[in-house]
């Protein structure tokens, strides 16, 4: 099979490339020697093979070749063409391939730009490619599974091998795929994974340089080359993470843009140390200081990318995240990949430790490098807190602990991360005002006074407007405003408001805005879907303090915050049911309601994988209104004939004391009543009657009594049903089985379908646009600063 | 000793403190019986849904109350009262983690629930298309 040939070829070629580049790097004197040539050729072959695997997989998905497990698993006939890309990387195999692909792209660029570093850098990258390529094997070696093969046939998959459908010679004609998870049928799924994986892949560049530096014992020559790559990676990975946040906010039901889900954390962890890496490299470039940390930071970052991959793909997060992948048998191999590079890097550092250049003197306390280094360390600390908590399932497994993840996850992480955020934003504010080597303190204070005073004033006003009372929040608001004002003034004064030179200041300013937006929108988010009617929703209602969802029957208008909200109806579009939720306001003088806007939160119907709720959000300049359906009546008008009204009763045979269930209550047959009020039930004197006393306990533990009656008259049997209208239940006492001492009851449920309802969560996120704007500014700033660095390097080379 | 070393030691000390305190703040996994002996504490209880018992949800009566029966890993069964609407496809879930605390009446009051649906890799069987010729 073509696909497997490519898999094998890509692996062999990567192995050969790694070996050839290794030999080439060992023989320095043979500059451009035969080994290097072989390395290049092998890497090119590897690149073609990877392209071949991808092309084959696309072909398979496009032509619906469901005999292949991967195609069957991730696509189906009814799926729109635009999601073909998403199908490709929905599964683990596809996402590993995406990662491999980006490293191939990076490798091809590096091959042409690294010059004297080509052999050692490419050797490391080729080695990483060997591991990634083997992830597609799916072989067992000594009972140990290596990777998972995307070209496996459906009938070869152990779970499905014995399904009768494969007995048919033409089984393919009857096969349709499982399809792309409806949760992922979204344009974000097309752009988020490639961006994130390019970010992950780019962490290998500084790592490969660091390894090369240790290996070739050229401790101080590579940092300048690796610097623009680091910032490129920081920008891409950062964008990828934020896209994930935007996706979660827009269309997943996470209830916000950042839920501290282990999967989200796994992508954030390497980014924090990556930012540290970039800054450490800047220090080295400017001052040739901290050589050791220029090795440690990129190595840790790369290792953390592998660790994160392990966390999300090994299934170990099982109980703590609903979003993690399940184990495909890749985790063991992934662990070896991880441990191999940890070992390699540690050995190289230990061997070279004594030879690393040391600086003779100490950093000045008032130097930019000192504070930058401090900032990098704070990022590492913040990162460590996230790692330790996210790794709780791992430590449980290793040490047999019984720790559970935090109960209020978002609150927990926010509490711990706010102090770090305060320090980091403060450093971001003052950082650029320090000069390398040493700073004139008087000048420093003088320049920072105006931005600081301004920040204090704005913070005072904004915390009064926002009614912020928490000291930590106010401090963070102050430091993030300070980051904005200080960087803005720096750009205006020191950079003469030159856009081209504003890279670093914009990146820092954007970071300040992101933290500010996150702080305000999270701390002042207001759930407006609370029961404001003053009516207790049930006897249990008092115990339940955090009732954040509200019932809306069709046509009801309820007050939510400053709005009045009506549920006006629903319509079905394809797989989706759109619920129309109209927001109105009341004119204070005319007392009339007028419509402001209508939101359409969605429930996507998917019988195979489960229904998915998709929120709908109205964006305003200063706030967002977010609505999300928690529960709803899903029957459509056309279907109501079938579903509405009384269902044909189900028959239960009970003894006295027995219990039966309906969908909304527990029914206990407490006793058989022989003394029946004949007049009340209109029973003749010569008739014999018995009543069954049924105790009906509803969700709120409220007790209703129903007493259906069984009447025997002259060999004819009559039933007098009883009902509990509130619960839509009616009971018929059908039969007495004297021998078994049991009685038959038919229970019919008039479902509440005549009441078309939704249970809605509505949240206001104030000033969340500050966050998105900050993202934009930060990314733009980073692009500018990379451009500036490349430009400067080219100029330097010309001279 | 250099300034940077002092700073490094300080930072390591703080980091250690942060990690230890934030770990000790965590809740732990427990069984229903363990949870019942400390009703003031919040626990994570892992278990399986008792599908023979009813799941009660009635949005009209109380939109934020869903009750069901859960059997924990030691086999103890409790009525769980979740203060949320009934999650979509609750019945499908294989394993459930309830987060909350025991209350006096042999019940468990859950603030949140995590459902582990049958892994995508074992759920569902190959299905025939409607357009098939047979």
A158-207 pLDDT per residue, tens: 656 556 566 565 666 566 777 777 667 777 888 899 999 999 999 999 99
Q: What is the pLDDT of residue A483?
A: 96
Query: Has residue A416 got a pLDDT over 60?
Result: yes
More confident residue, A625 or A252: A625
Give yes or no for a contact between A699 and A691, defined as CB atoms under 8 angstroms apart. no
Beta-bridge partner residues of B46: B97
What pTM does this model have? Answer: 0.84
CA distance B38 to chain A (A): 16
- Least CB-CB distance to A381: which of B14, B29, B99? B14
First to last CA, chain A: 55
Nearest-5° angle of CA A212, CA A215, CA A216? 85
- Least CB-CB distance to A544: which of B44, B61, B65? B65
CA distance B59 to chain A (A): 7
Average pLDDT over residues A124-151: 81
Among residues B12, B84, B73, B14, which one has the least CA distance to residue B43?
Answer: B73
Which chain A residues touch B119 with a CB distance below 8 Å?
326
* CA dihedral sign of residues A206, A210, A212, A216: positive
Give yes or no for a contact between A695 and A668, defined as CB atoms under 8 angstroms apart. yes
Query: Has residue A48 got a pLDDT over 90?
Result: yes
Q: Return d(Cα A401, Cα B29) in angstroms, integer.
A: 9
Which chain A residues touch B111 with a CB distance below 8 Å?
407, 546
- Least CB-CB distance to B115: which of A322, A328, A603? A322
Q: What percent of chain B has pLDDT over 90?
A: 2
Q: pLDDT class for A272, splitting at 50, 70, 90?
A: very high
Which chain A residues touch B26 with a CB distance below 8 Å?
389, 392, 403-406
pLDDT per residue as tens digits for the range A755-783: 788 888 899 999 999 999 999 999 999 99
CATH for B28-116, options being 1.10.10.10, 3.10.20.30, 3.40.50.10140, 2.40.50.140: 2.40.50.140
- Closest chain B CA to residue A537: B62
| Residue A157: DSSP 8-state | S
Would you call A388 and B27 a contact, using CB atoms and an 8 Å cutoff?
A: no
Q: Return d(Cα A91, Cα A95) in angstroms, integer.
A: 6
Among residues A631, A620, A696, A643, which one has the least CA distance to residue A665?
Answer: A696
- Least CB-CB distance to A540: which of B54, B65, B112? B65
Q: What is the pLDDT of residue A247?
A: 86
Considering only A214-223, A303-312, A542-551, B91-100, which range has the smallest mean pLDDT?
A: A542-551
Which chain A residues touch B89 with a CB distance below 8 Å?
610-611
Q: What is the pLDDT of residue B62?
A: 79
Would you call B23 and A403 a contact, using CB atoms and an 8 Å cutoff?
A: yes
Q: What is the pLDDT of residue A624?
A: 92
Q: Return d(Cα A424, Cα A436) in angstroms, integer.
A: 19
CA distance A405 to chain B (A): 6
Would you call B125 and A319 a contact, using CB atoms and an 8 Å cutoff?
A: no
Residue with tokens 């729109």: A80
| Residue A314: DSSP 8-state | S
Average pLDDT over residues B28-45: 86
Which chain B residues touch A165 with a CB distance below 8 Å?
126, 128
- Least CB-CB distance to B64: which of A73, A389, A544? A544
Which chain B residues touch A548 with a CB distance below 8 Å?
64
Considering only A247-256, A479-488, B39-48, B110-119, which range has the smallest mean pLDDT?
A: B110-119
Give Cβ neighbours of residue A347 (< 8 Å, ≥ 6 apart).
none
Q: What is the pLDDT of residue B117?
A: 61
Would you call A551 and B59 a contact, using CB atoms and an 8 Å cutoff?
A: yes
Would you call A385 and B19 a contact, using CB atoms and an 8 Å cutoff?
A: yes
Q: What is the pLDDT of residue B123?
A: 32
- Closest chain A CA to residue B79: A699
Write out the two tokens for A699. 């969700």
Write out the two tokens for A224. 């300048």
CA distance B74 to chain A (A): 15
- Least CB-CB distance to B133: which of A173, A378, A538? A173
Query: Has residue A644 got a pLDDT over 60?
Result: no
Query: Has residue A538 got a pLDDT over 70?
Result: no
Q: What is the pLDDT of residue A646?
A: 47
Domain range summary for chain B, segments of one domain joined by +: 28-116
Average pLDDT over residues A86-99: 84
Which chain B residues touch A176 with a CB distance below 8 Å?
127-129
Query: Has residue A428 got a pLDDT over 90?
Result: yes
Q: Return d(Cα A292, Cα A297) in angstroms, integer.
A: 9
Helix axis angle for A331-352 and A118-134, nearest 10°, is 160
- Least CB-CB distance to B89: which of A610, A665, A700? A610
Would you call A406 and B116 a contact, using CB atoms and an 8 Å cutoff?
A: no
Reported in sequence order, the residue ranges of A234-351 that DSSP labels E, i.e. its strands, are: none
Considering only A61-65, A252-256, A509-513, which range has the smallest mean pLDDT?
A: A252-256
Query: Has residue A328 got a pLDDT over 70?
Result: no
More confident residue, A43 or A326: A43
Considering only A53-67, A670-684, B108-122, which range has the smallest mean pLDDT?
A: B108-122
Q: Choosing among B1, B45, B56, which should be mutated to test the A contact, i.e. which has the most A CBs within 10 A?
A: B56
- Least CB-CB distance to B114: which of A159, A319, A759? A319
pLDDT per residue as tens digits for the range A437-471: 888 889 899 999 999 999 999 999 999 999 888 88
Q: What percent of chain B has pLDDT over 70?
A: 81
Q: What is the pLDDT of residue A71?
A: 80
Query: Has residue A122 got a pLDDT over 90?
Result: yes
Q: pLDDT class for A101, splitting at 50, 70, 90?
A: very high
Q: pLDDT class for A322, splitting at 50, 70, 90?
A: low
Q: What is the pLDDT of residue A540?
A: 41
CA distance B78 to chain A (A): 15
Q: Return d(Cα A75, Cα A87) in angstroms, integer.
A: 6
- Least CB-CB distance to A664: which of B44, B58, B89? B58
Residue A749's H or E segment, with its range, is: strand A742-749
Q: What is the pLDDT of residue B127?
A: 30
| Three-class secondary structure of residue A468 per DSSP | coil
CA distance B46 to chain A (A): 8
Which chain A residues touch B53 with a CB distance below 8 Å?
661
CA distance B47 to chain A (A): 11
ipTM of the complex: 0.78
Q: pLDDT class for A406, splitting at 50, 70, 90?
A: confident
| Three-class secondary structure of residue A392 per DSSP | helix
Q: Return d(Cα A329, Cα A323) in angstroms, integer.
A: 18
Q: What is the pLDDT of residue A171?
A: 62
Q: Return d(Cα A585, Cα A596) in angstroms, integer.
A: 7
Query: Has residue A537 got a pLDDT over 60?
Result: no
Q: Return d(Cα A303, Cα A342) in angstroms, integer.
A: 7
Estimate to the nearest angstrom the gap between the alpha carbon of A684 and the chain centroid. Answer: 69
Among residues A23, A200, A6, which one has the least CA distance to residue A102?
Answer: A200
Mean pLDDT, all residues of chain A: 84
Which chain B residues touch A544 with a CB distance below 8 Å?
64-65, 83
Average pLDDT over residues B86-93: 78
Locate all alpha helices (DSSP H) within A184-222, ordered by sequence: 187-202, 204-215
More confident residue, A606 or A278: A278
Among residues A268, A244, A376, A394, which one has the least CA distance to residue A323?
Answer: A244
- Least CB-CB distance to B29: which of A159, A402, A726? A402
Would you call A664 and B120 a contact, using CB atoms and an 8 Å cutoff?
A: no
Would you call A699 and B43 a contact, using CB atoms and an 8 Å cutoff?
A: no
Query: Has residue A389 got a pLDDT over 90?
Result: no
Considering only A504-508, A683-687, A729-733, which range has the smallest mean pLDDT?
A: A683-687
> How many CB pairs below 8 A link A and B?
202
Q: Choosing among B1, B10, B58, which should be mutated to test the A contact, i.e. which has the most A CBs within 10 A?
A: B58
Query: Has residue A380 got a pLDDT over 60?
Result: yes
Cα dihedral A768, A194, A128, A112, rounded to 10, equals -110
CA distance A124 to chain B (A): 31
Q: pLDDT class for A27, splitting at 50, 70, 90?
A: confident
């Amino acid at each position: 099979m073509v696909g497997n040939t490519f898999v094998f070829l890509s692996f062999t070629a990567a192995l050969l490339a790694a070996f050839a580049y290794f030999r080439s790097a060992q023989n320095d004197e043979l500059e451009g020697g035969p080994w290097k040539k072989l390395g290049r050729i092998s890497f090119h072959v590897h690149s073609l093979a990877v392209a071949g695997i991808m092309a084959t997989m696309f072909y398979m998905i496009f032509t619906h070749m469901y005999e292949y497990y991967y195609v069957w698993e991730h696509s189906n006939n009814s799926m729109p063409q635009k999601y073909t890309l998403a199908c490709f990387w929905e599964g683990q195999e596809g996402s590993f391939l995406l990662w491999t692909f980006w490293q191939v792209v990076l490798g091809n660029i590096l091959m042409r730009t690294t010059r004297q570093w080509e052999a050692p850098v490419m050797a490391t990258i080729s080695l990483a490619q060997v591991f990634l390529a083997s992830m597609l094997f799916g072989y067992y070696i000594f009972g140990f599974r290596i990777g998972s093969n995307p070209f496996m046939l459906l009938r070869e998959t152990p779970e499905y091998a014995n399904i009768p459908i494969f007995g048919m010679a033409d089984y393919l004609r009857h096969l349709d795929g499982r399809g792309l998870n409806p949760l992922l049928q979204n344009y974000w799924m097309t752009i988020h994974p490639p961006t994130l994986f390019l970010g992950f892949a780019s962490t290998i560049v500084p790592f490969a340089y660091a390894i090369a530096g240790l290996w070739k014992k050229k401790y101080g020559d590579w940092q300048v080359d690796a610097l623009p790559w680091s910032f490129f990676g920081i920008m891409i990975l950062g964008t990828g993470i934020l896209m994930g946040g935007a996706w979660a906010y827009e269309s997943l039901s996470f209830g916000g843009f950042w839920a501290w889900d282990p999967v989200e954390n796994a992508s954030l962890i390497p980014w924090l140390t990556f930012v540290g890496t970039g800054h450490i490299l800047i220090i080295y470039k400017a001052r040739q200081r901290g050589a050791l940390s220029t090795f440690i930071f990129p190595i840790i970052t790369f290792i953390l990318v592998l660790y994160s991959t392990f966390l999300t793909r090994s299934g170990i997060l099982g109980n703590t995240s609903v979003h993690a992948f399940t184990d495909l048998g890749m985790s063991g191999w992934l662990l070896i990949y991880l441990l191999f590079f940890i070992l390699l890097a540690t050995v190289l550092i230990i061997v070279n430790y004594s030879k690393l250049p040391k600086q003779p003197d100490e950093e000045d306390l008032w130097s930019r490098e000192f504070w930058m280094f401090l900032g990098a360390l704070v990022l590492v600390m913040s990162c460590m807190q996230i790692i330790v908590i996210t790794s709780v399932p791992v430590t449980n497994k290793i040490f047999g602990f019984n720790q559970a993840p935090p109960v209020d996850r978002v609150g927990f992480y926010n509490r711990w991360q706010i102090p770090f955020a305060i320090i980091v934003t403060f450093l971001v504010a003052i950082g650029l005002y320090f000069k390398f080597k040493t700073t004139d303190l008087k000048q420093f204070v003088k320049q920072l006074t105006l931005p600081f005073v301004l920040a204090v004033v704005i913070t005072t006003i904004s915390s009064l407007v926002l009614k912020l009372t928490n000291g930590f929040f106010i401090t963070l608001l102050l430091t993030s405003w300070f980051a904005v004002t200080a960087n803005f003034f720096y750009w205006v004064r020191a950079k003469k408001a030159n856009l081209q030179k504003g890279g670093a200041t914009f990146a820092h300013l954007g970071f300040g805005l992101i933290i500010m937006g996150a702080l305000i929108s999270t701390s002042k988010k207001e759930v407006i879907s609370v029961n404001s009617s003053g009516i207790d929703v049930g006897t249990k209602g008092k115990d339940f303090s955090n009732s954040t969802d509200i019932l809306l029957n069709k046509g009801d208008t309820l007050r939510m915050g400053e709005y009045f909200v009506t549920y006006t109806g629903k319509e079905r579009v394809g797989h989706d049911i759109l619920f129309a939720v109209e927001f109105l306001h009341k004119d204070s003088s005319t007392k009339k309601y007028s419509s402001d806007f209508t939101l359409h939160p969605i429930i996507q119907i998917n019988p195979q994988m489960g229904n998915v709720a998709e929120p709908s959000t109205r964006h305003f300049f200063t706030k967002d209104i977010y609505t999300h359906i928690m529960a709803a009546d899903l029957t459509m008008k056309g279907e109501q004939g079938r579903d509405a009204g009384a269902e044909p009763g189900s028959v239960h045979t009970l003894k006295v004391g027995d219990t039966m269930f309906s969908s909304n209550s527990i029914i206990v047959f407490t006793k058989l009543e022989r003394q029946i009020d004949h007049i009340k039930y209109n029973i003749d004197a010569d008739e014999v009657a018995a009543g069954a006393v049924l105790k009906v306990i509803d969700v709120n533990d409220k007790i209703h009594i129903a007493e259906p009656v069984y009447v025997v008259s002259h060999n004819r049997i009559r039933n007098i049903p009883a009902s509990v209208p509130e619960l839509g239940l009616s009971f018929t006492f059908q039969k007495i089985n004297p021998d078994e001492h049991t009685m038959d009851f038919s229970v019919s449920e008039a479902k509440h379908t005549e009441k078309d309802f939704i249970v809605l969560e509505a949240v206001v996120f104030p000033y969340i646009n500050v966050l998105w704007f900050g993202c934009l500014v930060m990314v733009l700033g980073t692009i500018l600063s990379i451009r500036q660095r490349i430009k400067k390097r080219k100029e330097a080379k010309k001279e | 000793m250099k300034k940077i070393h002092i700073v490094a030691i300080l930072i390591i000390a703080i980091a250690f403190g942060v990690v230890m305190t934030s770990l000790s703040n965590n809740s732990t996994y427990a069984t229903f019986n363990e949870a019942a002996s400390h009703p003031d504490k919040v626990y994570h209880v892992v278990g399986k849904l008792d599908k023979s018992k009813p799941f009660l949800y009635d949005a009209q009566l109380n939109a934020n109350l869903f009750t069901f029966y859960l059997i924990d890993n030691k086999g103890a069964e409790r009525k769980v009262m979740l203060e949320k609407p009934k999650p979509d496809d609750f019945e499908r879930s294989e394993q459930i983690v309830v987060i909350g605390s025991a209350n006096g009446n042999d019940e468990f009051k859950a603030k949140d629930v995590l459902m582990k649906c049958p892994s995508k890799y074992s759920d569902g069987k190959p299905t025939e298309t409607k357009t098939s010729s047979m």
